[in-house]
Structure 1
Amino acid sequence: MGWAPASAMIPGLALLWAAVLGGAAPSPPRLRLSFQELQARHGLRTFRLARTCCYEALLVDEERGRLFVGAENHVASLSLDNISKRAKKLTWLAPVEWREECNWAGKDIAIECMNFVKMLHMYNRTHLLACGTGAFHPICAFVEVGQGLEEPVLRLDLRSLEDGKGKSPYDPKHQAASVLVGEELYSGVAADLMGRDFTIFRSLGHRPSLRTEPHDSRWLNEPKFVKVFWIPESENPDDDKIYFFFRELAVEAAPALGRLSVSRVGQICRNDVGGQRSLVNKWTTFLKARLVCSVPGLEGDTHFDQLQDVFLLPTRDRRSPLLYAVFTTSSGVFQGSAVCVYSMNDVRRAFLGPFAHKEGPTHQWVSYQGRVPYPRPGMCPSKTFGTFSSTKDFPDDVIQFARNHPLMYNPVLPMAGRPLFLQVGAEYTFTQIAADRVAAADGQYDVLFIGTDAGTVLKVISVPKGGRPIGLLLEELHVFEDSAAITSMQISSKRHQLYVASRSAVAQIALHRCAAHGRACAECCLARDPYCAWDGAACTRFQPSAKRRFRRQDIRNGDPSTLCSGDSSRPALLERKVFGVEGGSTFLECEPRSLQARVEWTFQREGEAPRTLVPAEDRAERTAQGLLLRGLRRGDSGVYLCSAVEQGFSQPLRRLSLHVLSSAQAEQLARAEEAVPAASPGPKLWYRDFLQLVEPGGGGASSLRMCRSPPAQRPPPPAPRKKGRNRRTHSPEPRAERWPRSASHW
């Protein structure tokens, strides 16, 4: 079927790892913000309930201004403006007898035998539909939430309890996915206690319940359901289809390759009512196709085969949304995650292509070349494509073909044929995704928010480059202090807020932090954040309706050379005087705001006009925090300029004037220091003597820094910082001094 899993091509994959995926470190974000910094400066808010975990279900209700949350034994209603205020909660426990029965079945009564709320849907203008595990006894109920913005209502209607089988999983560890269309619930779930009967199920409403063929691996083979969407097919509602996204074991894989996982998209017609004589109360329009996210290579494709989440981004044509999906890999060779984008036209094209066919156990899967019955299996009964008004009217050969050929031969490939964004070798994997379409000065851009298993959110923008879109990593936000994996994400486009759930809490953060990009036009432009623009005085929220005259923004290229050429808003250059001792070491500190900038050091000797690059040699060690100079010489005295180079644009950050003292001057300084009692009040005499020694007339004391320790007493050079979850953060404000103020640092 034209595919081979990455784990089946170890030699080729090793080459791809080095050549295509890049054995180097993962892409750094331009800005990295810690949990503490987000709380203190950027409005991060959190919500958690006492002795409660597993905040998995999030539902944004823009009309009421509420965020509904499903968790262990609880449903909560939070304010979209501030989830920490006006919170309401209701407790929804499993009955005692259910918990005892769960415990008798061998489950942990304190951990597993609870009611984990897995699903929340807006049912009508006044009620939610909520479903939970019910201590391995799935249950659903309607929750009254009121009609408007008045005092929030949150009340469980105990008279409307529903059997949750086929709607919610039994086991809290199992995934389920569902969508409510009208009064009908379409769900993908394990429908039995043992977690073996996987089904795509329609329930509620007035029509008969339908499901997939049970225990038939051709239909579903140990699937893990991810998302479900209702997507119109035409102007005729009879053509509407429900699309399921899941991963499962590949029935089409060669037996020698073992149990291989693949990602799928499945479809069913909304007006399917099952067959008349065959497939009674079963889907007659179910089809599925492989969803591919891979990097092409000479030795074969490198597949990201584990679908984790899908986000449907509407476009002007409601029939053709974009599908943003995040994948990980099951390969034992490398760890990686990717984002692939799919068009609905490509999905529909795969379902109109050839069917996959296999003659017998020893035969290969091939493209079916025989006669396909009419109406074509997978087509909805409607006047758009035929004369059949119901699936019960389909001929028997159509039903039999549908039963035996649910799999399509052609896969669904991503737009541009490769991932939009990937991270390989990072210490996290992608778990969730949400997207927002943003209007900027030079067009519309899709901004992606990617949740990880390390409690971080990556902010990525899709920009065109070389005829295809690529993803640029703008920010890495540590939204959870305990680094808990992100389990759900929702966006409020009206309020420009992102809501994130994990096992431990719910977090709220703005979609943009314009002030964090810097206080200069060039910094704002280089950030390439479509939410932000330079207004002539600061980096602020971009308003498409505002006057264009004062807005400076270049998302496509991020080139400040033209936009900011006449701008005089650049902050004053930080200047420091640094002193060192001949033969010793000194550290010139300079750390750019952007992690994607390259630091360039230039040097100008005293009394000389030309400025030269500091040579790369053993005596000059470049670190992430600055330049360490060893074995100082008198000729090292001069002015060192630190500049950040990004997108070809150079921006000076700090000017450091280094004075290298002789050993005799250092000894004279030491004797002057020892002559002054430690408890002497007022400024110390040795300090004034030193100023007269190196700079007659004094002055500049507030910016003075001196290194004169003998080698044995000098502090060690700063160690390279380890990569990991507790990484260095970047502050939008001037940095506080990090180095110890000992006798060597003033």
Structure 2
Amino acid sequence: FPGPLIFLSGVGVQGCHGAPCFNSFLQFELKATGTAHFFNFLLNTTDYRILLKDEDHDRMYVGSKDYVLSLDLHDINREPLIIHWAASPQRIEECVLSGKDGNGECGNFVRLIQPWNRTHLYVCGTGAYNPMCTYVNRGRRAQDYIFYLEPERLESGKGKCPYDPKLDTASALINEELYAGVYIDFMGTDAAIFRTLGKQTAMRTDQYNSRWLNDPSFIHAELIPDSAERNDDKLYFFFRERSAEAAQSPAVYARIGRICLNDDGGHCCLVNKWSTFLKARLVCSVPGEDGIETHFDELQDVFVQQTQDVRNPVIYAVFTSSGSVFRGSAVCVYSMADIRMVFNGPFAHKEGPNYQWMPFSGKMPYPRPGTCPGGTFTPSMKSTKDYPDEVINFMRSHPLMYQAVYPLQRRPLVVRTGAPYRLTTVAVDQVDAADGRYEVLFLGTDRGTVQKVIVLPKDDQEMEELMLEEVEVFKVGMTHSPVLLTPQQLYVASAVGVTHLSLHRCQAYGAACADCCLARDPYCAWDGQACSRYTASSKRWGPRTPRVLSWGFGGRCNTTLGVMDGTAPWSLEGTGTWGGEASLKILDQELSSSRRSRRQDVRHGNPIRQCRGFNSNGECAEPDPWALLTVPRSCSQGPPREGLSHDPGG
């Protein structure tokens, strides 16, 4: 067991000078709340990674050293299905003789689990520095409880899974074809984006060409369609690498790259190599008062938040600083519109080794390099092998875009500087509260905690971060596996195990209306008796649209919000902006009633307005219009250090 699960809750917020705001703190063992469950089957294994969620079977699939696990999404300890898949003793001996560590490297570290069809998974492991893949039968229905390896279908994992378990891979299995960003050699020097399996030609990036890939670390792969035309579909890879264009090389830059799914390579040049591969820099930086930007360049994790438009998801990314002097982390948010604009912009060009990088200004070959064959702009060209040689030659020497992709509002959504930890993972949930719709960020750290954060508009120019809680889940950090959301559950993995957490612990905020209101947790509201889960009316908010991406700046609001909680009438007076001041009016007859069932104010956390009519123990009382509720506030201390408890009384 990883040790006691500690819960730290922040209540109330004011300006905190760049640090996440807390007010008072609660500390206790999270396990006692019944809102967290640790996978408690004692296996001789390590390095757990959540690799696949299967909502059709209500299972999630976890890889670790020598094991493949199938866990129930609703209760990870209810009848887990476990496959022991170790490398052969002979292979382990050969691995040790080659100089590798017998425990930390010479095992079969499962790194890839992808859905093959309705009944089978495709799984790959490092195989004690000899990668191997095979198929796992999971049955057609969850209640079949079928889960076994098919050893007769064992095949080489080269180009699918790394040799070294310390090297990460990013993969996607699409139409029975596996796309993977991976190192393919024993020494870990040849990195490539591969396509294997399936009926199309096996493909890879240009070998030992540092303009294409330069010592990359692959983070994530995501299929994002460009249009209704399937031939335009592109697979995006997120990675970091040593930069060739940095003024002070070597420097590490975050990248987003893309390829067309129907790329067949060139006819004479780039044979069996991608002829549509492009990449651009992802920038996440804080502008300084002197005009110099502080950059976070080490991409750590990516979460793709789907919207109603499958072509325009929202991209959340965690970054850390790369220098040893400045230590910090940040979360930046990107739109696909900005990403596509960069890929449709100028290419980076350099005349020679002593020249500066410039935007390419020569004659652009047709079709434009990076265009998919048979798509919207090239309906007559059915294959990249039909592309003229000048297009293929241009692609080989110009894979980099000149412009970089900047985040929304050109600044991070969350920043951590000077903290004794770094952010490593991110997952995002969308929550409807009484006063609006909020994106709740769950941020994993390298000290084993998960932070629950929302970001609110402070004024027309700035956002204000509010940390709702920090939960210590493990004694070691979450440096690899992503946090994975399902309805009302958050799954977290580390080297020592897997835990699932509830997204909310409303009862922990206290037994008074004011405490519940000051928590400002969009999951929670005062119901007249206790702080409990808030469920929004389905009629109040329409479907989410990409306009939410304004993050509270400049989005016009001129509509009546109607019934806010199903019982109490509210209305929004006049026209304003999400980032400005809008007058929220509670109708007079509602103020005089002490029977309103749900009280919540995420935006302002105002207990005087919300809790009038309730005394401290939750019972109804006659409202006193002149009564003042005094709440102790202390935000200058910043987040608590591990093991410290702050007195709620201030």
Band the TM-score falls in, shorter-chain normalisation: 0.7 to 0.9
* 1:276 and 2:281 correspond: no
- Deviation of 1:28 after TM superposition, in Å, equals 5.0
- CA gap of 1:177–1:213, structure 2 versus 1, over 3 A, is same
1:184 is aligned, of 177, 181, 202, to 177
Q: Distance in 1 between matches of 2:647 and 2:190?
A: 50
* 1:397 and 2:390 correspond: yes
Q: 2:225 is matched with which residue?
A: 232
- Deviation of 1:490 after TM superposition, in Å, equals 3.8
- CA gap of 1:30–1:167, structure 2 versus 1, over 3 A, is farther
Question: Match of 1:645, SS?
Answer: coil
Question: Match of 2:451, SS?
Answer: strand
- Deviation of 1:166 after TM superposition, in Å, equals 1.0
Q: Distance in 2 between matches of 1:317 and 1:164?
A: 35
Q: 1:294 is matched with which residue?
A: 285
- CA gap of 1:57–1:131, structure 2 versus 1, over 3 A, is farther
**Counterpart residue type for residue 234 of structure 1:** S
Higher mean displacement: 108-117 or 559-568: 559-568
* 1:551 and 2:594 correspond: no
Contact between 1:31 and 1:475, CA under 8 Å: does it hold in 2? no
- Which structure has more relative contact order (CA 8 Å, sep 6+)? It is 2
Tell me the alpha carbon deviations over residues 392-437 of structure 1, each in whole angstroms, 9 at most, x when there is no partner: 1111111111111000010000001100011111111011111111
- CA gap of 1:455–1:45, structure 2 versus 1, over 3 A, is same
Question: Match of 1:196, SS?
Answer: coil
Higher mean displacement: 532-541 or 220-229: 532-541
- Deviation of 1:31 after TM superposition, in Å, equals 7.1
- CA gap of 1:415–1:721, structure 2 versus 1, over 3 A, is closer
- The percentage of aligned residue pairs carrying the same residue is 49
- Deviation of 1:24 after TM superposition, in Å, equals 7.3
* Counterpart mapping for 1:724-743 below 5 A: 724-728=641-645
**Counterpart residue type for residue 534 of structure 1:** W
**Counterpart residue type for residue 410 of structure 2:** G
Contact between 1:489 and 1:498, CA under 8 Å: does it hold in 2? no
1:266 is aligned, of 257, 260, 263, to 257
2:430 is aligned, of 413, 437, 452, to 437
Q: Distance in 2 between matches of 1:428 and 1:30?
A: 20
Q: 1:618 is matched with which residue?
A: none
Tell me the alpha carbon deviations over residues 511-539 of structure 1, each in whole angstroms, 9 at most, x when there is no partner: 11111122222222222212112222211
- Deviation of 1:351 after TM superposition, in Å, equals 0.3
1:141 is aligned, of 126, 134, 140, to 134
**Counterpart residue type for residue 30 of structure 2:** L
1:363 is aligned, of 351, 355, 368, to 355
Tell me the alpha carbon deviations over residues 307-349 of structure 1, each in whole angstroms, 9 at most, x when there is no partner: 0000000011110000000000012222110000000111111
Q: 1:11 is matched with which residue?
A: none
Question: Match of 2:372, SS?
Answer: coil
Contact between 1:293 and 1:418, CA under 8 Å: does it hold in 2? yes
- Deviation of 1:373 after TM superposition, in Å, equals 0.9
Contact between 1:537 and 1:569, CA under 8 Å: does it hold in 2? no
**Counterpart residue type for residue 267 of structure 2:** Q
* 1:336 and 2:328 correspond: yes
2:473 is aligned, of 476, 479, 488, to 479
Tell me the alpha carbon deviations over residues 595-637 of structure 1, each in whole angstroms, 9 at most, x when there is no partner: xxxxxxxxxxxxxxxxxxxxxxxxxxxxxxxxxxxxxxxxxxx
- Deviation of 1:97 after TM superposition, in Å, equals 2.2
Q: RMSD of the alignment, in Å? A: 2.5
Question: Match of 2:632, SS?
Answer: strand
Q: 1:463 is matched with which residue?
A: 456
Q: Distance in 2 between matches of 1:455 and 1:567?
A: 39
* 1:46 and 2:38 correspond: yes
Q: 1:563 is matched with which residue?
A: 610
* Counterpart mapping for 1:317-332 below 5 A: 317-332=309-324
- The total of aligned residue pairs comes to 567
* 1:106 and 2:99 correspond: yes
- CA gap of 1:548–1:402, structure 2 versus 1, over 3 A, is farther
Q: Distance in 2 between matches of 1:235 and 1:30?
A: 49
Instruction: Give the TM-score normalised by the residue count of structure 1.
Output: 0.73
* 1:88 and 2:81 correspond: yes
Q: Distance in 1 between matches of 2:206 and 2:16?
A: 45
Contact between 1:528 and 1:553, CA under 8 Å: does it hold in 2? yes
- CA gap of 1:284–1:362, structure 2 versus 1, over 3 A, is same
Contact between 2:48 and 2:63, CA under 8 Å: does it hold in 1? yes
- Deviation of 1:483 after TM superposition, in Å, equals 3.2
Q: Distance in 1 between matches of 2:221 and 2:24?
A: 34
Q: 1:628 is matched with which residue?
A: none
- Which runs of 5 or more residues in structure 2 are unaligned? 1-14, 538-564, 569-596, 620-628
The structure with the larger Rg is 1
Higher mean displacement: 434-443 or 134-143: 434-443
- CA gap of 1:486–1:532, structure 2 versus 1, over 3 A, is farther
- CA gap of 1:476–1:33, structure 2 versus 1, over 3 A, is farther
* 1:542 and 2:534 correspond: yes
Contact between 2:312 and 2:336, CA under 8 Å: does it hold in 1? yes
* 1:644 and 2:636 correspond: no
Q: Distance in 1 between matches of 2:32 and 2:320?
A: 33
**Counterpart residue type for residue 216 of structure 1:** N
Contact between 2:513 and 2:618, CA under 8 Å: does it hold in 1? no
Question: Match of 1:489, SS?
Answer: coil
Tell me the alpha carbon deviations over residues 25-68 of structure 1, each in whole angstroms, 9 at most, x when there is no partner: 9435567666x611011421111543210002332222222221
Contact between 1:31 and 1:476, CA under 8 Å: does it hold in 2? no
Q: 1:709 is matched with which residue?
A: none
- Deviation of 1:385 after TM superposition, in Å, equals 1.1
- Deviation of 1:77 after TM superposition, in Å, equals 1.4
- CA gap of 1:200–1:249, structure 2 versus 1, over 3 A, is same
Q: 1:705 is matched with which residue?
A: none
Question: Match of 2:48, SS?
Answer: coil
* 1:411 and 2:328 correspond: no
Contact between 1:265 and 1:288, CA under 8 Å: does it hold in 2? yes
Instruction: Give the TM-score normalised by the residue count of structure 2.
Output: 0.83
Contact between 1:180 and 1:186, CA under 8 Å: does it hold in 2? yes
Contact between 1:127 and 1:143, CA under 8 Å: does it hold in 2? yes
Q: 1:15 is matched with which residue?
A: none
Question: Match of 2:369, SS?
Answer: coil
Q: Distance in 1 between matches of 2:39 and 2:76?
A: 6
- Deviation of 1:205 after TM superposition, in Å, equals 1.3
